[in-house]
Structure 1
Amino acid sequence: MADENEDNKEYRWETGYEKTWEALEEDEDGLLESSIADIIEKSKRKRHADKIGVRLGMMRHMNVIVDCSEAMQDQDLKPTRHMCTLKLFEGFIEEFFEQNPISQLGIIVTRNKRAERLTDLSGNYRRHLEALQTQCSDPNYCIGEPSLQNSLELAYSTMRMLPTHTSREVLVIMGSLTVCDPGDINVIIQQLASAGIRCSVIGLAAEVCVYKLLARLTRGSYSVVLDDRHFRDLLSAQVEPIPMPESGDASLVKMGFPHHLSHGGKEAPFTTCMCHLEDGSSNNSTTNSNSNSNSNNTSSKLNKLGYFCPQCRSKYCELPVECRTCGLTLATSLHLARSLHHLAPVKPFDPLDVKTNLTSLPRKLCYACQKTFNEEKNVYRCGSCHCVYCLECDLFIHDILHSCPGCTIRPTPTPAITPTHHNHTNGGGPGVGDYSKKLKV
């Protein structure tokens, strides 16, 4: 909303003169990579600080709109924008389902002034990866101009009827500076905002007014990539669950925990799961198909193993999934446990300047990787166990590990200046007593 108030005051060329280049400093070799890395790291730490005390949406439905227009063939991202986007997007899909195992994702591509649905909303990440590799890997796939309006309307048609206890999101990866739409795009933007569908945009070229307007009205985020590493960080930021609106009511979600059906000692018959039932019908209707591929598809559909819905006995080959027969969400306890770290995230560590605090530190080494602090500019100390970590380990703990190694080992916090002592215990730990308190809050 601050951007809206600022835009209403005056035009950009009428604002005050800003020396934006002063934020960039050259290193000893005359390069700007260190300054860009500092900007990215500061944004990461700010993102971790904003997660504390925020109600998050654990069940997510996200449609990703990928630009496959002619502009994606530019080579400012190596080897091309299209190939770089596919490579990073594949990693994003795997990380998304790793951090959000009970969520669903769909892919929409826009090219040649149209919007095409590549995959439906599904929790099967292999289906998304196969669709990208088989249909979008061709360099000649990118043609024409994108249509943002058609893409948003296609995403809106599939997400407007979803339940309100799930977060509904749209992520737009756009490389073109222009769009070709059949009507007024402000209409669909207002519909998305009214429905509470959050839209975030990642631009590959430059800032565009309509992309910024879309993100602002739908309470999303809008960023322009600096390089491929920054592109990866922006995608990783979309992996974390978004805050739920304050107006949303807490509701209980009925879930089923399927099991392998017993046949009383008899050999289980070969059956087709509900996941590949539509694939079999579509393959039978298509022509000019390869006989080898048909035999492989048949062997993958007919099998003895599978997960059976406890409510309607429908068979599925992978979890989590939403039952197509009764609509029950099927998952395992492991999927719920993997989503648990979002409820109690690791608190941001306190930054310490190495030059002023190096002598007072009990250890001159990182507690995790044992790297010396002589080459570090800042180090970070846990507020509970007072263990000191380097920057790489700090980001690794908050992004991937989701638990402090010092707090896991030590039953009680140690003073910040006294030497460290390893007290190993068989149970308890700092997370047991504090964990129930965090959940009550």
Structure 2
Amino acid sequence: MADSDGEYIDEALSDDDTTAQQGTRGGDYGTRSASNRAIKRRRTDGRGGGTQTQPKARWEDIHRSWEHVVEGADGSISSTVEGLLEAGKRKRLLRDTTPLQRGIIRHMILVLDLSESMAEKDLRPTRYLLTLRYAHEFVTEFFEQNPISQLGVIGMKDGLAVRISDMSGNPSDHISAIEGLRPQDPKGDPSLQNALDMARAALFHAPSHGTREVLIIFGALYSSDPGDIRDTIKSIIADKIRVSIVGLAAQVAICQEICSKTNGGDDTVYGVALNEQHFRELFFESTTPPVTRSAKQAASSLLQMGFPSRIVEQSPSLCACHSQLTRGGYLCSRCQSKVCSLPTECPACGLTLILSTHLARSYHHLFPLRNWHDVSWEDARKSKSTHCFACQVPFPPIPDGGGGGKGVDGVSSGEGVSSNIKSKPGAGSGSAPPISLAAPATGGATAGLTSRYECEVCKHHFCIECDLFAHEVVHNCPGCQSGAPIDDGGGAVNGQVGQHATDGNGSGNGNGNSNGNDMDLS
């Protein structure tokens, strides 16, 4: 403490007191600003033996990206801007594609902060309106990626938790409830404890074969709780509920504790948004099902599901879900009760009713499409391809001779894309961009900004837009699904491409094979 008392006193004093203190202490301490710059983050190791320097927080690091921007051959930086945009897309796209056991039948509660802290305008137009807009998009994307899952929405305001929409598999119910919040103003204080208690009650009857998750959008730096929130955390852990939090202000200790304890020590599910785009990325990370963690391999279990077909009746009849007169609907495969939309649970017999396409869309989480790696200029010359295989958009012209640039040092194709921009030595004409943002391709080849991305299985080249579309929307490789062979440039056609594409990248994404079979929920 003796080492830190002087620093603490000096930091708390005013400018006048600092001048007086310098005279009494013989000038051991500088001015207030100088002493603040001299303060180091230190921590005693508990054994009385010195100090350890803690690593810097992410917000303390400064990346001077503007120092690496270079002009193109035409004197403009348009190619630099295009490279930054493409690098940002690739950085968001690259993810771990290891096939893991995931719970594709999910039960999630979305908790929205409706307190007065959401009226801040650091996120445009306000935190409140931006959260409602992203929540609308999240509900649509959630059911697009997880069509056989259930979702509910809860709000926090005035120190209470309010129910916005009940647990349901119909996205229109949640969207209409969220849009109904727009005329209201955020007010009061949030309460994490009340929100977790209400979410726990809503997930109490969730079946054991599905996951139980809570996603909290938290914009405040405090929580107005009626009791000890750690008792609620123990109950959440006992019920095997996973909690993820997206902060909008700053990191809060209790939020990190909640996420860490409810996710087996993994605190990566807690993030603080830096800007609007980062907020959306953190928000939409929850559309991917969580990895199943189990100390012991659970025995496989089968779940009964019904696959009804849509009918159109001559005269309207009451549906079992809303008790409204409708002409069309779906008849339960077991009890013949009529429901309006799918997926849902039969109100009469409790059978899960879905379409085969719903099960197929959930299947890609178990066998994700592999990441495509960047193509170097050398490989681009060998391929002889000039257009994207999917959309037929022409690629940038290939520079002559040794115009190929080097990629970013120390970054592999599976680790992401660095935002550092380096000049390309030997860049030829103005047709070749003067920067390099892509990671090195596999096999030791260097990669430049070729705007080409190659599937490891079918070896076809695609543009960045098709890369995003294949990995985020269709979750299938067009080259693998078509089975079209490629010309290696010498006239020899790789006849093995079609077979290997189906085995390596088609079976995991060719979802139609599993639609009529029983579902393994091990």
1:77 lines up with 2:126 in the alignment: no
CA contact (8 A) 2:159 2:188 kept: yes
Structure 2 counterparts to residues 130-145 of structure 1, below 5 A: 130-134=176-180, 136-140=181-185, 142-145=186-189
Match of 1:342 among 343, 349, 365: 365
Match of 1:231 among 273, 279, 285: 279
**TM-aligned CA distance change 1:310 to 1:14, over 3 Å:** same
Task: Give the structure with higher Rg (CA).
Answer: 2
Match of 1:410 among 473, 483, 490: 483
Residues 37-96 of structure 1, C-alpha deviations (whole Å, 9 max, x = no match) = 857743541x3x2x3220111111110000011111111111111111111111111111
Match of 1:304 among 305, 322, 327: 327
Structure 2 counterparts to residues 34-433 of structure 1, below 5 A: 38=87, 41-42=90-91, 44-45=93-94, 47=95, 49=96, 51-134=97-180, 136-140=181-185, 142-219=186-263, 221-246=269-294, 247=296, 248-259=298-309, 267-268=314-315, 270-277=316-323, 301-353=324-376, 358-363=380-385, 365-369=387-391, 370-373=393-396, 374-375=432-433, 377-378=437-438, 379-412=452-485, 430-431=501-502
Residues 402-439 of structure 1, C-alpha deviations (whole Å, 9 max, x = no match) = 11122222355765x7689799x9x9893268655899
CA contact (8 A) 1:363 1:419 kept: no
How far apart are residue 232 of structure 1 and its match?
2.1
User: What number of residue pairs does the alignment pair up?
Assistant: 397
Name the CA distance, whole Å, in 2 between partners of 1:214 and 1:408: 43
Provide structure 2 residue ranges, at least 5 long, that are not aligned to the other structure: 1-42, 71-76, 397-431, 439-451, 515-519
Question: Which is worse superposed, 162-171 or 13-22?
Answer: 13-22
Q: Which residue of 2 aligns with 1:283?
A: none
**TM-aligned CA distance change 1:127 to 1:357, over 3 Å:** same
Name the CA distance, whole Å, in 1 between partners of 2:344 and 2:251: 37
Name the CA distance, whole Å, in 2 between partners of 1:253 and 1:260: 22
CA RMSD in angstroms, aligned pairs only: 3.6
Q: Which residue of 1 aligns with 2:61?
A: 21
Name the CA distance, whole Å, in 1 between partners of 2:221 and 2:231: 20
**TM-aligned CA distance change 1:414 to 1:148, over 3 Å:** farther
Determine what percentage of the aligned residue pairs are the same residue.
35
CA contact (8 A) 2:486 2:494 kept: no
Q: Which residue of 2 aligns with 1:286?
A: none
Name the CA distance, whole Å, in 2 between partners of 1:116 and 1:13: 46
Q: Secondary structure at the match of 2:134?
A: helix
Higher helix residue share: 1
How far apart are residue 237 of structure 1 and its match?
1.8
**TM-aligned CA distance change 1:362 to 1:146, over 3 Å:** same
How far apart are residue 348 of structure 1 and its match?
1.6
CA contact (8 A) 1:259 1:309 kept: no
Question: Which is worse superposed, 150-159 or 190-199?
Answer: 190-199
How far apart are residue 126 of structure 1 and its match?
0.6
Question: Which is worse superposed, 394-403 or 70-79?
Answer: 394-403
Q: Report the TM-score when normalising by structure 1.
A: 0.79
Question: Which is worse superposed, 333-342 or 369-378?
Answer: 369-378
Q: Secondary structure at the match of 1:306?
A: strand
Q: Secondary structure at the match of 1:304?
A: strand
Question: Which is worse superposed, 237-246 or 119-128?
Answer: 237-246
1:214 partner amino acid: I
Q: Secondary structure at the match of 1:168?
A: strand
